[in-house]
Amino acid sequence: MNNQIKIDTEYITLGQFLKLADIIQSGGMAKWFLSEHEVYVNGEQDQRRGRKLRAGDKIEIPSIGTFTVL
């Protein structure tokens, strides 16, 4: 399932994305979530909650889903 997340700014951080996609309840949970789950940005594993995501980036979280930033 490919979910699309629309942003109105140049970029958002991976932590902001997780909250916007309703994967976590608050921004404070981002560090914990990234330490417990594998997250792939454009095919590369990344655990930096400050990673900048721009339109066209693809985020894959096994067992949760695949997301595209618009």
Residues near 62 by Cβ (< 8 Å), separated by ≥ 6?
37, 38
Which domains does the chain carry? 2-69 (3.10.290.10)
Query: What pLDDT score does 27 carry?
Result: 86
Query: What pLDDT score does 5 carry?
Result: 94
Q: What is the pLDDT along the chain (70 residues), one digit of tens a residue?
A: 579 999 999 999 999 999 999 999 998 999 999 999 999 999 999 999 999 999 999 999 998 999 999 9
Query: What pLDDT score does 67 carry?
Result: 97
Query: What pLDDT score does 30 carry?
Result: 95
Residues near 37 by Cβ (< 8 Å), separated by ≥ 6?
61, 62, 64
The length of the chain in residues reads: 70
CB atoms within 10 A of CB 61: 16
Pairing of strands 44-45, 40-41: antiparallel
